[in-house]
Structures are given as structure tokens and as C-alpha cells.
Amino acid sequence: MVVDGNIKLFDPSSPNDSLESINEKLNDNQTSFALGDLSNTTFWISAATLYVHKSNKIENINHTISETSKIIQDLTHEKKSDDKKKKEVVQHYKALCDVFKKRNEPLSVEMIKEWHAILMNGAMPNPGQFRQQEVITGNKLFIEYKSIPSLLETLVNKYNLFVQKEAREHINNRSKQTPYSLAAWISHAFLTIHPFLDGNGRISRLLENYVLFEFGFPFPIPAFDNKEDYLGALRQADRDFKNGRNTSQLAHLILNGSNKIYTMYLANNALKQELKNDVRASTEVKDIPYPSYDFYYNENSNMVKASYKSMETKYSTILLLENVVYYQRLK
């Protein structure tokens, strides 16, 4: 709802699912949205590979992670293949790259149609075109096809207004939303409109990544580890439309995905830093840093466990259970 040119934040059709409504809070560290390390193309491709593998797996496209990695590596090395089985991986990766390329552009219906055309190229007739028939999946009836253009245009416009609102409120330190809530909100709304005959789930997950890219996260966020958790989050959002589509569980899954990628990025960098000097250059054994461990007793598992002290110190800010959102790009 727009009131005097402003968004009414808690309108039922707004992303009112702030992460405060989730029992378990995972941290959103400010550094994750200000890495600026886009020169690390190798890690970007690795994260993209994981994303494509998991997103395809939800749709029962069952390439192994090794097969997905090999297909994308061949693509990035300009090795062409006419294998139709590989095309589902290739086109998904190309669509993700285009989403990232356009991360600083305002979202539009045409952009979504272009991403669908790339994603479904060779997989269906007329990719990028809205469906011209009614669709029933299982016991779910989707919105009539004649309403798709106007509804999707409204959804895109509302999203762009939310982004503008967040920019203004961030400047004044009044921002209460998170990019995860926005990503979950638009993803579920898009799925409910279901504008295409096929590929809607994959486009919805590309939209989630578009939101995080736009807010400054530099790497793709993989789809969810557990398909049932993902479907359960969508079912939860379906249950009570009149009270605002509770997409908090979906937001939580997206947040968890971003934390995993961020943690892996930091761990890789830490190890490279630790091992950057050749040990053979040390003149004496005492010059070689030795790992220090802190042992403690875990009553729940009846086991003695060890924690790496230096890692605890280095990642203490990451392990804080806080929900603090920072935006790199919005000024």
C-alpha cells in the first residue's frame, strides 16, 4: 500500500517478516555485505556451482556436484558442448551471471523475462513468455493467466519502492527490514503468481540472489540443503495470506545460506594467509607457528572437544547471535 507516496511497512502485502519473528537468530555480520572482493572470480564460480547444483536438485535435475562443476568449468574455459543434459546446468549458470551483471539496475518485468529466456533456452517453446493457460500443480490453483502482466508489474514496482524506502531509512538509522526478508517476500510472491509454464522455482531463487546482490553481497547464495525445509517454508507462507504471508522461515533459510558462503570465504582466506609463507624458509623449527588448542568437556555428548584459540578470536564477531544489517551500496 502506498500512502502519500510512502510505503506502509506493515501492510499485509508488505515484507513484514523481520527476523525478530524467528526464534533462532543467526548473525548478519557487516563485513559480509562489504567484502568488495569481486576479483576473487574462482570463489565466485565455486559458489555459483554450488548454487546451480542445489537449485537444480530441488527441481529433480540430478547432476552430481562433480558433474555440475565439470560442466561449468568447461563453460568458463569456453569448451562448447551440444549435450542437452548439460544445457540445464549451462543455462542456469548463464542466467545467474546475468542476474549478477544487472545487480545495480532497478528490477523490471523485462529483466525477469530475459532471465527466464536464458534459463529455459532449449528446454521449452517460447522461453521468456508468460503462460497463456491456467495451471494446477498438485492441489494448488495458480492465479489466472490474464492477470499475470499487471500483477507482476505491481510486484516489481513495490519491490523497487521498498528498496528506495530502505535507502532512506538506512540513512536515518531507522531501517528495520533485512534483505533476507525482502528476498523471501518477493520470491514467494513470484511463485504464487507463477507467470511461466516451467522454471518458476529456479527464477524465484535467482530473484533471491538478485536482492542480496543488490544489497551488496558479492557471491551467489546456494539453494537450501534440505528440500523438505524449503518446501515447508513455502507451505508456511501459503497458509495465511490475509495476515501477511509469513515468509520468515524462508528468510531464515536464505540467511543461513549467506552465512555458510561467508564463513567458507573467510575460512579459505584465513588458511591462505596462514600458509602464505613457505615453511622451508624458516631457519629454525621454533620459528614455525604451532597450533594451540583449548580442550573442554561437553556434557551433552560426554566427549572432550578441542577448539582452535586463534580461530575463536578471529571469528568471534561472526559467531555472535545478532541480527545487524548493513548495506554497502545504498547511500
User: Which residue in this structure is represented by grid cell 524467528?
Assistant: 22
- Evaluated on CA atoms 132, 136, 141, 142, the torsion sign reads negative
The grid coordinates listed for 292 are: 594451540
The grid coordinates listed for 300 are: 551433552
Distance CA 139, CA 133 (A): 17
SS3 291: coil
**Annotated binding residue at 201?**
yes
Q: Which long-range contacts (CB under 8 A, 24 or more apart) does 267-272 make?
A: 268/43, 270/311, 270/314
Euclidean distance between the first and the last CA atom of the chain, given in angstroms as a whole number: 24
**Annotated binding residue at 36?**
no
The grid coordinates listed for 71 are: 560442466
Distance CA 127, CA 238 (A): 27
190 and 203 Cβ atoms separated by less than 8 Å: yes
Please tell me which residue in 53, 92, 116, 194 is annotated as part of the active site: 194
Pairing of strands 2-3, 303-308: unpaired
Q: Is 252 a catalytic residue?
A: no
Distance CA 206, CA 119 (A): 10
The strand ranges marked E within 66-191 are: 136-137, 140-141
Torsion, CA 144, CA 150, CA 156, CA 162, rounded to 10: -100
**Annotated binding residue at 202?**
yes
**Annotated binding residue at 55?**
no
Residue 280 CB contacts under 8 Å (≥ 6 apart), including other chains:
none
Residues classed as catalytic: 194
Residue ranges for the known binding site are 198-205
Q: Which residues are annotated as a binding site for ATP?
A: 198-205
